[in-house]
Amino acid sequence: MDAATQPRAAEGPEPPRGGIWRDRRLRKRWRYVGVYGEELMLCAAKAQVGPASQAFWVLWDRASGEQLAHTAMRPGSREVRLDGPSLEIEARGLRASLRLGEVAPIETICPSGSGWGWTRKRAGVPVEGTVETPGRSWRIEARGVDDESAGYHRRRTSWHWSAGVGTAADGRAVAWNLVEGINDPPRGSERAIWVEGVPTEPAPVRFAGTEAIEFEGGERLAFASESERARDENFLLIRSRYRHRFGTFSGSLGGIELATGLGVMERHDAVW
């Protein structure tokens, strides 16, 4: 990858701590885990913006074409439990017990107006466990992404984000975390491409909506959507328009030709 920096590892510190407000900005923090497999794709997240919290999950059964999803707004909900390497979901219509393995993370703190955002990302994470829906169960051995983020982001923040896993044309295992609009300075961003578990940082990318990602050298990573979770929320002080799509990828990943690719494309517009 011509524009890549040296590999970045982050045994790193915990996210910088602070109160619920800082410089008239609410504190945000979230953790998202995605699992991208041939039979199913699954994501689960817990998020807080100031005093408000929510948890959600989405399951996409690729064989049947069925999508299940739920958002829990109740404070203290234990529908989604993320504890270290463990992800547990206990919900009407879905039970999941998954354990995340190890892969080298990247970690960064980036400016956001007069505030900042911290994030630690791991892509290509091995995931094992079980998923059950009424009348169906899966034994999972797949790869995915683990996203931990926090900070005092600018009041209005809009971004595109993609994460995925795949195999290069030459057989190497690859994974990625790519973004435009948040944590994306020219250097020291959250952008990363993992090749055989080793992350490097590509140059800034441009998202063509949720249809493709374009790289500095002219390479293009195309996306074919299979399912979408759309949610619009308006709590006056906090407003959000969120689009999350599971699907497949093809083309070039910053100079690496893909043979296969599975993952997510996301668009988020927030006033928070």
Q: Is the residue at 15 inside a domain? A: no
Per-residue pLDDT of the chain (272 residues; tens, 9 = 90+): 333 333 333 334 456 667 887 777 889 999 999 999 999 999 999 999 988 899 999 999 999 999 999 999 877 789 999 999 999 999 999 999 999 999 999 999 999 999 999 999 999 999 999 999 998 999 999 999 999 999 999 999 999 999 999 999 999 999 999 999 999 999 999 999 999 999 999 999 999 999 999 999 999 999 999 999 999 988 877 898 999 999 999 999 989 999 999 999 999 999 99
User: Taking the alpha carbons of 71, 75, 80, 83 in that order, is the dihedral positive or negative?
Assistant: positive
Q: Which two tokens stand for residue 100?
A: 């995340």
Q: Is the residue at 115 inside a domain? A: yes
Residue type, 106: I
Q: Is the residue at 240 inside a domain? A: yes
Q: How far apart are CA 162 and CA 244, in angstroms?
A: 10
- DSSP, res 209: T
Residue type, 219: E
Q: Is the residue at 220 inside a domain? A: yes
How far does the chain reach from its first CA to its final CA, in angstroms? 36
Q: How far apart are CA 226 and CA 68, in angstroms?
A: 13
Closest to 56 (Cα-Cα) out of 40, 72, 76 = 72
What's the number of domains the chain is made of?
1
Residue 240 and residue 231 in contact, taking contact as beta carbons nearer than 8 Å: yes
Q: How far apart are CA 67 and CA 171, in angstroms?
A: 31
Q: Is the residue at 266 inside a domain? A: yes
Closest to 36 (Cα-Cα) out of 161, 166, 136 = 166
CA 36 from chain centre, in angstroms, equals 11
Q: Is the residue at 1 inside a domain? A: no
Closest to 119 (Cα-Cα) out of 147, 145, 149 = 149
Q: Is the residue at 6 inside a domain? A: no
Domain residues for the domain of 102 are: 21-271
Residue 229 and residue 68 in contact, taking contact as beta carbons nearer than 8 Å: no
Q: How far apart are CA 18 and CA 246, in angstroms?
A: 34
Residue 243 and residue 264 in contact, taking contact as beta carbons nearer than 8 Å: no
Closest to 261 (Cα-Cα) out of 191, 162, 179, 128 = 162
Q: Is the residue at 33 inside a domain? A: yes
